[in-house]
Amino acid sequence: MSTANLIAGLDIGSQTIKLLLVAKKQKKEGQVFEILFCGEEPAIGIRRGVVVDVDKTAQTVQSLINKARTDTGKKIHSVFVNINGSHIFCLASRGMVAVSRADHQISQEDVKRVLQEASQAVSLPSNNEILEIVAKDFIIDGVAGIKSPVGLQGNRLETEVLVLSHFTPYKDNLVQAILDSDLQILDIIPSYLASASVALSPKQKELGVALLEIGAGTTGLAVFKEGELIHYAIIPAGSANITADLAAGLKIDIDEAERIKIQLARCCYKGKDKKEKIEIAGEGPLVFSRKTLTRIIEARLWQILAEVQKQLKMISKNQVLPIGIVLSGGGAKLPGLVEFVKKELKMPCRLARNLYFPELADELSYTTASGLIVKGCETAETENWLSGRTKSGLLEKIKNLFKFFLP
């Protein structure tokens, strides 16, 4: 098998670092990807999705890469990697240019210019930089709702975009950790945009949907309407906070709290309040009620969903999302969570399913890793990147927006 056909997605998470290695197959063979390796290591040097210790993170990544090589016999040279953390935020912007051609036909150059105008109109702190630019709409001579303006005629071209920005030092830590693992970075992709590429269908994005991905240290919200991203937010709380709340509420250590969460936790508990008894190593039995357990869990979930509700209201009071909420991430496995989200947000809700990897259809914790591969393969010149005909280090990538207008 050619090395050019190997694609790796590296998910840097708050609790675990996951690696998915696949072989890209010919389309005539049916399934596009064949999974060669799927594994994870406990995250060390990561806090709430952010690399805070470069050396420890690099060691963990290298350990995972070595394990993949041992299992498959394949050497991994480069990866698509995610970026996460509440330092990522989005801003709306707008740009306008005059159409340059004498016949008033809009060219790709006009599109690039108007996108540049929109990006330059955003005022960012000196230690922040633009991560992604996503066009929500193009407007020609006041006529809105245009998705592909190239070839159309007009005098004035405008655009409304969503600009994703991030704190540069955190990205630099991430890049350095990967490079110290003797890997090249093909692309850095926001976590929840990667997840959306495998968890949401084009029809769902067109009608209106919000992907809510509950990780260990963060919860991400990506909202789509008319096929485009219209809002993106990261909440600095996740399933690890629930574990910490259980440890504090039940007065036990964090490992025992995680065990109780996995074995007994659920939302919307409607049964009779009964006592549970768990043996705690070195301390004897711990007795607590089901309702106490549920109350602790739901208190944290209320906090997270209150912030989600706040973010949804920021989009537009009249914004309707017919598909509602799609839940992903390891924290979405909590029993009763779908019912709880429906009740609190008063919207339809369901669990995500991986649309590209049938083997991982119900593995919600691998949504980001698999999404990195799918979204990475959609990026311009991916085939050249994978065959190694690129310069080392972080590649100069063409923003997702621009690729639609390249010949």
Contact 76, 21 (CB under 8 A): yes
Q: What pLDDT tens digit does each residue of the chain (407 aa) get? A: 555 578 999 999 999 999 999 987 765 555 578 999 999 999 999 998 999 999 999 999 999 999 999 999 999 999 999 999 999 999 999 999 999 999 999 999 999 999 999 998 988 888 999 988 888 889 999 999 898 899 999 999 999 999 999 999 999 999 999 999 999 999 999 999 999 999 999 999 999 999 999 999 999 999 999 898 999 999 999 999 999 999 999 999 999 999 999 888 888 777 777 888 888 877 778 888 888 999 999 999 999 999 999 999 888 665 689 999 999 999 999 999 999 999 999 999 999 999 999 899 888 999 999 999 998 887 644 444 444 433 333 334 434 444 433 33
Q: Which two tokens stand for residue 259?
A: 């065990």
Residue 135, H or E segment: strand 128-140
Which residues lie below 8 Å from residue 3, measured CB to CB, with a gap of 6+?
74, 75, 77, 387, 388
The CATH code belonging to domain 3-85+168-190+355-392 is: 3.30.420.40
Q: Closest Cα to residue 234, out of 215, 206, 259, 258?
A: 215
Return the number of other C-beta atoms located less than 10 Å from residue 300's C-beta: 18
What CATH architecture does domain 201-351 belong to?
2-Layer Sandwich (3.30)
Q: Which two tokens stand for residue 181?
A: 């693992």
Place of tokens 């599109």: 111
SS3 category, 298: helix
Domain limits, the chain = 3-85+168-190+355-392, 89-166, 201-351
Return the number of other C-beta atoms located less than 10 Å from residue 174's C-beta: 26
Say how far apart CA 92 and CA 129 lie, in whole Å.
15
Q: Which residues pair with 176 in a beta bridge?
A: none
Say how far apart CA 168 and CA 87 lie, in whole Å.
9
Say how far apart CA 224 and CA 319 lie, in whole Å.
11
Q: Which residues pair with 349 in a beta bridge?
A: 325
Fold agreement (89-166, 201-351):
no
Buried b (16+ CB within 10 A) or exposed e, 369-391: bbbbbbbbbebeebeebbeeeee
Residue 49, H or E segment: none
The CATH code belonging to domain 89-166 is: 3.30.1490.110
pTM of the model: 0.86
Say how far apart CA 131 and CA 127 lie, in whole Å.
13
Say how far apart CA 211 and CA 398 lie, in whole Å.
25
Residue 362 φ/ψ region, left for φ over 0, alpha for ψ in the -120 to 50 degree band, beta for the rest: alpha
Contact 111, 149 (CB under 8 A): yes
